[in-house]
Structure formats: C-alpha cells, structure tokens
Chain A
Amino acid sequence: MILTLLKRELKVARRNWIGLAIPLLFFIIVVSLFPFAVSPEAPVLQKLAPGVIWVAALLAMLLSLEQFYRSDYQDGSLEQLLLMSSPTSVALSKILAHWLLTGLPLVVLSPLLGVLMQINHGFAHADHTWVLMLTLVLGTPTLCLLGAVGMSLTLAASRNGLLVSILIIPLYVPVLIFGASTVTASLENMRYNGELAILGAFLLIAIVFAPFASGRALKISVG
C-alpha cells in the first residue's frame, strides 16, 4: 500500500519539478554567496563551512515543507487517502517521498558546496566531504520527519508557514548543533563518533514516533 502511495507522490513531483527545484537552488545560492560576503580565503571559509552548509540545508528543508500535505489537503485527496489506508502509512509514504525529493538531492549536492567552502583545504589525505554527507544523510530525514508532524498539526490553519517555522525550529536546533559539530570535529582532527551516534539516535527516535504522530494529527486536521 505504501508503494502505491509512494509511486503516486513521485509521479506528481516529476510533473511539478520546479517547486522542488526552488529549495535546492536556495541551498546552492546561500552557500555560494558566503565566499563573496565574508572572505574568499580558504582558512576562513573552511572554519565557517560546517555551520553555513548545515544552516542552509536546514532552511532549504524548512522552505520545502510548504509542499507537504498542502495540495492533497486542498484538493480533498488527503481525505480519500485517510479513508482508504491507515494514517500512519499515509504519513510514512509522504515523508519518504519528501526526503527522496528534497533531502537526498541536498546530500548529493553537498560535496560541490564543500568544495566551494574549501572544506578540504590543508588536508592532503583526510576527506571531510564524506563526513559532511554522512551527517546530512542522518540529519535531513530527521528534519523531514519533524517537519511532517509540524505541517500536519497546522494544516487547517490558513497561512501556516510561519506557524510551522515557530513550532518546529526549536526541534531542528539539536539536529543542527550535532550535524554541524560533527563536521567541525572532523575538521579539527578530533573523534566525531559520539556526535554521529547522537544524530543517528535522533533519526531513530523520529522514525518511531513522527509518522504515527503525523498520522494522528492529519486525522484531526481533516475532521
């Protein structure tokens, strides 16, 4: 059943790709402006890199949340989905599709932005790009999952974009802290297993609770 839902999500997204391209474009533009605004010197950029890339990724994810559930809510298909399948599986398929369409492209683009921010400057052998990608692989699904809960809670409110931001940014902050500090630790040649494990723990907790919570909230929003 989830597969049927997922296929539909991806098909709709393929025909509507401009909406999906905007957060990615935003991600690239924000990061690429930093060398102009701050300094093109490699050591400075390198120091800023983890924070800048992570903040840009977080904002891009926040920007893309608007597409979660909204069009399905407006055209009535959300109602039909909730009648025909369980709320949790509706939420789960939405979250999965949303991550594949926004989180995954961010991960794929991040090495490019790592180069732009001189992330490997001065290191002959270490490759921090992999660490950056790994943190985003663990972190962006968590952001998706939390965002889904926020979106489904505020679906019935008009102009809910701001409300969602206020609601979920506090929940995003821990992910941001551990995501960026993992990369920083790696840049400072320190061990970063602990931070990475915490990012993984966030993801696991979110996977267990968020689809269920989002599904329940969808039921309430539709009723």
Chain B
Amino acid sequence: MPDSEQVERGLTPPTPSPVGWPTAVAIIVLLLACCGALLSANLVAENVPGKRVSQMLAADLPGSPFLEVTLPHWHCCATTPMRFRTTLDADTANAQDPAILIVSAHDNARLFIDGSLVAGEGPGTGEPTNWSRRPRLFHIPKAMALEGAHIEIEVQRGVGFGHLRPIYFGEYDRLYPSYAALRFLRADMQIANGTIGAFVAAFCFAAASLLGARGLMYALGGLAASWALQVLGLGPSEPPWSGVVANGIYFVGYLGTSVFLVWFFVEWTSVFAAPLRRPWRPIDLLISPWPTRLRWRLATAGLSLLALGAIVIALMLQQDAAIGSQDVDRLLGWLTLVAIAFCLIRVVAYYWRTGFRDLFEAAAFLFVLLAAIADIVMVRFFFMYGVSLGAAVMFFPLALLLSLAARARGVFEAATANADKLNLLVTAREREIVEAMNEVRRNERAAMLLEERSRIMRDMHDVIGGQLLGLILQARSQSSSDTRLVSGLEQSLDDLRMVVDSLEQGEGSLTGALGAFRARIEPRCEAAGVALVWEIQDVGETPNIGPDKTLQIYRILLEACTNALRHGAPKQISVSLARTISGEIEIGVRDDGGGFAIENHAPGRGIANMQTRANRIGAAMRLSSDENGARLTLVLRA
C-alpha cells in the first residue's frame, strides 16, 4: 500500500510538477536528436564502398605473408605492425584524385604503392608515440594510380570496428565526408563526452553537501569523472604525456567506472527506498536496499579497490606498455560485465518494487535500455558504430540529476507543508496563550481592584465614616456648635482628599506624595501662626511605597503635626524627607516647642495609633522629646 509506505517514510509524496512531462519529453527528444545526428554521421562514414579485412587478407596477391595473421586477437597488434595488401582496381585508378581512407589505422599508418612509401609516418622504435584513434585519408599520386598497382598499408595497432572494413578507395572528394564523419565519431565525440563527464563530476562533487544524499552524489560524480578519465586516456598522447601514462589513465578510468557504477546503483536503489523490516538475507545484497553503514563500507572498499587497481595497472604498464594493456582490458571488461549485471538486477528489483515514480528516471532508464539494444543490433548485424548508448550515457546523469531535483523538491514541499502546519498550530496556541494571559490579567486586575476597594473602604470606614458619624450624632443632639460642625466636616473632607492624594501619588515617588501633603497641613500651621519649614529632597523612585503606605505615612505625619500644634506650642515645624546612605527613606517631623514627656503620655492614643500604623507599613518609628522640642523619625525601605 503506497500510502502506508509514505507515512512510514514520513514524507508527503512529491506532487507532479507541471513542467515534469515537458521536461521528460524534451530529454527524450534531445536524446533522439543526438542519436539521429550520430546515426547520420555513422551512415555518412559508412556510405562508401570499402574492402573488408577478410577480402583484403584473401587478396588478389596470393602467397601474401599476411595470410597467416589472424585478426582480431588479444595479443595481436601492439608491437607487431600489420600489413594489409591489395591491388588498385580500375575505378580508383581512373579517378580524378584517387585517395585511400584508413579507418582505424591511427596516425602511424604508412601507405606503400608498388613497394615504395607514399604517405604516412612509420612506427617508432619501442613504445608507440601516438595512440590517436583518428582515421587517415591519403592521396594516391596520380602517376602511381595504375590499375593493378600493389597497395600495402602498414598499421602499428588496429583495434575497433575498423578491422572489419578498414580501407576505402575512391575519389578524394567522395571520401572526405566519410573521413570527417569518422573523425567526429572517433575523436571529437570523445572530447565532447569527456567535457560533459568533467562538468557533471564537478557539479556532483560541489552539490553533494548542498543536496544531501551525499553518497549518491559522490558516486555519480565519480562515475562521470572516470568516464572523463577514460576519454582523456584515449586522446592523443603527445609529450610530455607518454603513451603509457595515457594508457594508465584510461585503465584507471575504466576500473573507476566499474567501481562507481556499483556504488552509484547501490545508492540509487537504497537511498530512496524504505528500509527493510525483516531480517537481512544474503539475497538482499543483490535486490534490497542497503543500510547506510553498509553503503559507506562499499564506498570505502570500492575506493580501496580503485587505488589498488591503479597500482597494479601502473606496475603492469611498466613491464609491457602494450601487451599488458590488452590483458588489463580483458580483465576489466569482465569485471565491468559483472558490475553491470549486478547493477541491472538491482535496478530491475528496485523498479519492480516501487514502479516508475518519476518521469525523468523512466525516460533515462528506458532510453539507456533501448540504446543498448540498438547499439548491439547496429554493431552485430550492420558492422556499424554503436552510437546510441554513448548519447544515452551522456544524458543519463542529466536525467538522474533532474530526478534528484524533483525528489528534493518533494522533500522541500513536504517540509514546507509541515512547517505551515506547525505555524498554524503555533499561531493557534499563541492565541490560546494570549487569551489565557488576558484572562489571568483580568482576574489579577479584578483581584487588585477588589483589594484596593476593600482597602479604601477600610480607610473610609475607619476614619471618615467615624468622623462623619460623630458629626451627625453631634448635630442631632445639638451638642455641637456650628463652628465645630464645620471644622469637623472640613477635617473629614481633608481626610478624604488625603486618601485621594495617596491614591494618586502612591505609585511614583514619595517626594511627590509628600509635596501633595504640604497643602493639607500648611493651612493648619498658618492658622496656628506656626511656620512650616519644608525640607524635602528628591529621593527618586520609591516603588516599595504604594498608596496604602503613603496614606499611613500621611496619617502619621498629620498626627505628629497635630500633636506638635496641640501640645508643643512651637514657632515652627519642619518636615524633612531624605534618603539615607544605606538607601532607606527617612522622614522627619521636628518642632521647637516645649516637647512632652513620652513616659507621661505613653501610651497616648495618638502615639499608639502612629506606632500601629508604622508597624503596619514596616517602618521603624522613633520618637524623642526634650525641652528643645519633639522629634519624630520614620525609616522605611524605599
């Protein structure tokens, strides 16, 4: 069930991209165009009459020493030059500009006519200097172009399909297109392939850390790099590159192709697959996804094999530059065959399990398969070059990269969708939290209001209520004069204003709060003819002294002033506010009256009240009195 699998992999399936189909079609069209171009080049190359090797060996020159040479052979032709012999036919002899095209003879081919060297460079002594696979096109001097002339072609090394039909005769102009096509197929194509391989390798290595699936990207990069190396090894080897070095590069590239092929397909069939949920069996090595650790071990083993192989190849090439290479070629051929078979089984098993989920992959694999079949048919039955597989292999990494990108897009989209979901969730939770916080704040506020209300009620009840009630009772019983009634009412209003002041000023600074208090006591002092000395310093913020404490301080100060006015008969009263060195607030009321004996008054109601209030707000109250006046000090935390 695909759904449960997706759930287990934790990914939302990638939605088909709107450009998916057009891109897949474009890849196929591009591949077909390339194959078509290569095929037409192939046809042009073949579109001349030529002589097959068998024809030339059974030539019209019986008794030729070359009859004994059998071709091709593993040890055929590296150090032993071969001569193909034939006679010039009438058509060629009568041509305007007779020429000969040597398909696979390499640069070191020599043309002999009637025993004399006409064109080409001879083989060097020892190791070949140039292993280019370029075809050669030689003019046949008109003077020597006689029907029945003995033609001998000596090549140092002739591998490839040119063996089957190595030589064409005809008009130079008629042969030239084939020569150009062959050059393209045998040399220039290699350069294109190598360039693409190098580019893909660079891209993969650079993108591996960005895209993730690092093993896969490294393997693909290695595959492309080894492809480029192979091509490099096949290229012309001019000094300082020796033929041995070029050969070595080619073989290491060849070995690398096998190693990276296996690694890549193991990664490809494992990294996107659901891990196995049953015990591991030996057959799983072939058909099932490999766990990550096993894949990294494979990579390590593969790279070790590559390093070891490179050393062995180097040693073998030291011993014999050419013969050794034939053996290596054969060995590697077998190794690659086994690797390809392994990969093929894995890929079939993989797509059997999952189906083709991606258009690019489908296009790539299908095309590689078709190209391989086409090439086999071409080579086996038409003796032509296999061209499709080369094109398919070139575009294969491209298609796989697109496929990777599509997968990555799926992952990103799944992640984005998840992120969106989470964001929604977070937003919803945030709203809930804010609502809850608001609720808490409302409750807190309600509680604070309740507390504040009850405090104000208490204050009103304690003082103003009592005062008003007393006044009412006095008024009722007519026991009080109007003046006393008015003064009592004024006192009540004063007290009420004090409550209001405490509420207003209590939150900021005690400095402002005491400032407001001055308006409450100054009229009394003035009425009694006593000077009020105001010694208020700015004590800064007093966050610890709220309305409640402020009101208690007001009442203590009022009581102290009232006491001084009532008992001390002072000339002046001074009120001071200051901050002590230790940061506490000190409030003082001092008068220059006669003072009072504390012992005699204690426990006077006023003083007891003051003490009670001081205790309630956690203030230390000191009261002292002598003949120079009384002094009250209040110390509390700011």
Indicate whether A and B interact: no
